[in-house]
Amino acid sequence: MSEATIREALDAADGISEAETEFTDVEILCIDCHHDFVWTAGEQAFFRDKKLTNPPKRCKPCKKLKNERLAAIERAQETGVRQRIEVAAECARCQSMTTVPFYPSQGRPVYCRACYLEITAAPNGHQPGN
């Protein structure tokens, strides 16, 4: 098949390719900001080309922020310098959004300042000086 023939075949297929597109834009709920974002057909094709099987969990701004956080943590580990970081997280007690100065690990509850103070100040059954 000559190159010209291929081109003609592609041109002929052009009219029906729209209906045959295997990807369509999908809306995904961002796990960080809890807003829907569009995972476009083009991005899905890109994911498939890269052999990525899991759809993105974060919108682009949140993904960028996450990458920046990770980069900051890596830099801190490399240099041994503790950098001040602020990570957005949902309080496990009152469900309000808060920021914490560390990157929360999976499964570990994160509390906002108010809840944290309440929890740490709460009497735990032992009287001081007993």
Contact residues toward Zn ion (CB under 5 A) are 30, 32-33, 59, 62, 91, 93-94, 112, 115
Name the minimum Å distance from CB 30 to Zn ion. 3
Name the minimum Å distance from CB 41 to Zn ion. 20
**How many CA atoms lie within 13 Å of 95's alpha carbon, on the beta-carbon side?**
1
- Measured from the CB atom, the residue of 62 and 89 that comes closer to Zn ion is 62
DSSP letters of 74-123? HHHHHH-PPPP--EEEE-TTT--EEEESS-PPTT-----HHHHHHHHHS-
Name the minimum Å distance from CB 128 to Zn ion. 25
- Measured from the CB atom, the residue of 80 and 107 that comes closer to Zn ion is 107
- Measured from the CB atom, the residue of 57 and 75 that comes closer to Zn ion is 57
For residues 55 and 58, what is the distance between their CA atoms, to the nearest angstrom? 9
